Amino acid sequence: MAKTFYTEHDIEDMARRGQRSLVVGDDIVLTDLAYESARKLGVELIQPHDTPPGAPIRPYFNQSGTSDVTPAATGMAISMEALKLRVKSAVRSKLGDKIDDSLVDRIIERVASDLGYK
């Protein structure tokens, strides 16, 4: 049986058309970015009970579509400021002092937000 592959662009197009769910069976395969796009855009991935998916449902997404690996979910919650300090320290150790602190702050905030970290 031929498999149908979905990319992040396919999921974005579905969401734009108002389609809010996709049945994921043994003939449907989603790329990692497609899973991420589905989570971000609120597209529900429905798995039939008797049919295994073509690619496994990622363990780091729970049924509600939020990440299971957020700091709060793992018991490692820290403040955003502490997170920024730790990341900037790691970036400085790799790149030196010639980094734009405000740019690094914006990148950290965007990634943290995408991961569901508040």
pLDDT tens for 61-97 read 444 444 444 555 545 566 778 878 888 888 888 888 8
Average pLDDT, the chain: 76
**pLDDT top residue among 8 and 56:** 8
Tell me the domain boundaries of the chain.
1-68, 80-114
Distances (CA, A) of 94 to 84, 89, 102, 105: 15, 9, 17, 16
Q: What is the pLDDT at residue 68?
A: 46
Q: Distance (Å, rounded) from C-alpha 41 to C-alpha 16?
A: 9
Give 29's strand partners.
5
